[in-house]
Amino acid sequence: MVDISDDGRRVRGQLQSGIVRRRRWTTAEKGRVVAEAVAPGAVIAEVARRHDLAPQHLSNWIRAAKDGHFALPCEEGPGFVPAVVCPTPQAGKASRGGRAEPIEIVLGSVVVRIPAGAERRLVELVLRTLRRDRAIEQNARLHRLLRQANNALYGSKSERLSKLDPDQLALALEDIEQALAKSEAVVAKAAGTPPPSGDRRRRINRGALPAHLPRLHRTIAPDDTDCPCCRAPMQAIGEETAERLDVIPAQYRVIVTHRPKLVCRACEKISQAPAPDHLIRSGLPSEAMVASVLVAKYGWHLPLYRQAQMLATQGIDLDRSTLAFWVGYAAAELMPLYGRLKQALLGSAKLAVDETPVPVLDPGRGKTKTGYFWTLARDDRPWAGADPPAVVYTYAPGRGGEHLQALLATYRGIVQCDGYAPYKKLPADRIVIAFCWAHLRRKFFDIAKGGNAPIATEALARIAALYEIEAAIRGSNAEHRRAERQARSAPLVHAFRVFIDQQLARVSAKAEIAEALRYGLNHWHGLIRFLDDGRIELDTNIVERSMRPQALTRKNALFAGHDDGADNWAIVASLIETAKLNGVDPQRWLADVLGRLVNLWPNDRLDELMPWACRTDPQPADLAA
């Protein structure tokens, strides 16, 4: 750590890996090993073994360091670079001119020399300044990384820059922001000098906390309320208030239900209030507890075995099979509500439809087979429609067209989808097919991201112009959207068709770009339907967003254990994701719904239990059952 030369880097790498090829230790190398050995929790024998040293040899080095003969190790500075204060090889010895050699302070690649015999306060001041400057440099580098990651994820040219999955980029953003916050905190804590004015201001979010959250008021008054001058009682003339978001960790409680027995002393007749029905009769959980398990598994992607481990930390011994039993009972109870939700979606004027694979255990072969979630999604908010948003997943053992035909057997309306062949075979007398521009755009993007693809790049620019118009008219009624599209989008679409025809005539029929152009040409009739109907969106992003949570659940759970398990997954996930789309707390809503269903809620009033029929402003949990 004494210098930043190639040789110095090589030596440091050897020390960290425990392999030492040089037997002649420099003063700075000894100082670094001593710093490891005297660190809190370090064991001298282990440090010596890592560096191929005899423990006694290392002990001698430590004693020499304490005596000030060759090095004084100091704590780490920002950027995780240890700082070492040590004499030069000739320190303490008179030079030919009779003067002692200076002391070196080394922090990463920076070396500062101080005259021999300098006071310790001067050494500490130089060291603090070096650490501050290094933290500022690191902050600047992290800010650059943060800007690059933000541009890759959110920038206007994000699809040209980003080759990573958006979720992976979000994780990278989190790590960079955490590192930046830590580095700024180190600068703020540095003694003596404050952070420079160019640093990022601390993020403050005052007055933006939701009003429904309970407030715990705490007053901090002076210990002495008498005037310090004349000792007269002081009067309040105002106050300053500040709000901070606090959390109470998940708290489990036991509800003890008492049902007194009353007896008539005259006729000896006994009376007792009937026991309320519960989802798990004579079992442990309340409906709120079951709802918590459901939402954690299908809403926040926590497998049951992980939930069992989390409960164990609270001293609650529940194995995974018990939680699975609760989930199965809940899915059976929620089936009528799921059926009504599915019926409501099939009565919609327009649906977005897609499918996603779901691995399912095949016990006979000891392997997994591939089932599919066929997803129906409705979101009429972009054209100010009256129907609330909703999503329904339907499990099927395959991806064949027969499953799609069965799913949409009674549907009449618009189906927006990708170019998968079974969609094109839906009956044209009752179903209008509109294809997705995002799928066409993705084909050009896959070509353009490799670079040097002028045709694909121009295609992306033409499609981006259509999306700019859509952003401007989002939220308008269907008639206004249709009029704007006819005036502004139609000329761009027709010019794009001419562009496709011209480029197809120029490129090789076997080229990848030709395949993308032909995809647009073959699906052209369905792609341009949005021009004549303001209800149709440019893409199927609503259904693709709805499938993303199930992909996360699939990644964490690996596979469904059975076809019935996949059905349960579809039932519960449909209700939870619909609640999220409507801004309803899924756990509170499910707890209420389960309590009503187990107490014989009538089937002809199921619409009253839908998420959009519930109060959307969250309320504090009841303190009594």
Inside any domain, residue 65: yes
Mean pLDDT, the chain, rounded, equals 78
Inside any domain, residue 165: yes
- For residues 516-523, give the mean pLDDT: 94
Q: Residue 371: helix, strand or coil by DSSP?
A: strand
Q: Are 504 and 514 in contact (CB under 8 A)?
A: yes
State residue 261's pLDDT score: 93
CA distance 409 to 346: 10
Q: Is the dihedral of CA 497, 500, 505, 510 positive or negative?
A: negative
Q: Are residues 89 and 26 in the same domain?
A: yes
Q: Give the residue among 315, 311, 379 at the shortest CA–CA distance from 349.
A: 379
Q: Are residues 471 and 518 in the same domain?
A: yes
Q: Are residues 483 and 404 in the same domain?
A: no
Q: Are residues 547 and 625 in the same domain?
A: yes
Residue 12: pLDDT over 90: no
Backbone angles phi, psi at 609, to 5 degrees: -95, -5
State residue 43's pLDDT score: 76
Residue where one domain finishes, among candidates 189, 211, 231: 189
Residue where one domain finishes, among candidates 161, 189, 217: 189
Residue where one domain finishes, among candidates 61, 87, 118: 118
Q: Are residues 55 and 101 in the same domain?
A: yes
Q: Are residues 377 and 525 in the same domain?
A: no
Residue of higher predicted confidence among 442 and 144:
442
Residue with tokens 């859509």: 470
pLDDT tens across 165-209, in order? 555 455 555 555 556 565 666 566 554 444 444 444 444 444 578
Inside any domain, residue 198: no
Q: Give the residue among 383, 274, 404, 361 at the shortest CA–CA distance from 562.
A: 361
Q: Are residues 395 and 479 in the same domain?
A: no
Q: Residue 254: helix, strand or coil by DSSP?
A: coil
CA 465 to chain CA mean position, Å: 30
State residue 493's pLDDT score: 96
Tokens of 246: 């606090």
Inside any domain, residue 314: no
The DSSP-derived string for 415-473 is EEE-S-HHHHTS-TTTEEEEE-HHHHHHHHHHHHTTS--HHHHHHHHHHHHHHHHHHHH
112: pLDDT confidence band, cut at 50, 70 and 90?
low
Q: Are residues 337 and 451 in the same domain?
A: no
State residue 100's pLDDT score: 57
Inside any domain, residue 212: no
Q: Are residues 550 and 416 in the same domain?
A: yes
Q: Give strand pairing partners of 579.
A: none
Q: Are residues 488 and 356 in the same domain?
A: no
Question: How far are the Cα atoms of 26, 60, 470, 534, 541 from residue 482, in angstroms, in the given order?
Answer: 78, 85, 11, 5, 20
Q: Are 413 and 431 in contact (CB under 8 A)?
A: yes
pLDDT tens across 16-66, in order? 333 334 457 777 778 778 777 766 557 788 788 878 888 888 888 877 776
Q: Are residues 544 and 533 in the same domain?
A: no
pLDDT tens across 362-404, in order? 655 656 778 888 999 999 999 999 999 999 999 998 888 999 9
Question: How far are the Cα atoms of 379, 574, 577 from residue 590, in angstroms, in the given order?
Answer: 22, 12, 12
CA distance 449 to 160: 6
Inside any domain, residue 268: no
Inside any domain, residue 562: yes
State residue 46's pLDDT score: 78
What is the domain count for the chain? 4
Q: Are residues 508 and 572 in the same domain?
A: no
State residue 145's pLDDT score: 62
Range of the domain at 363: 327-435+540-625
Inside any domain, residue 298: no
pLDDT tens across 583-605, in order? 999 999 999 999 999 988 999 99
Tokens of 422: 């079974």
Sequence-distant (6+) residues with CB within 8 A of 149 are 169, 172, 173, 176
State residue 162's pLDDT score: 46
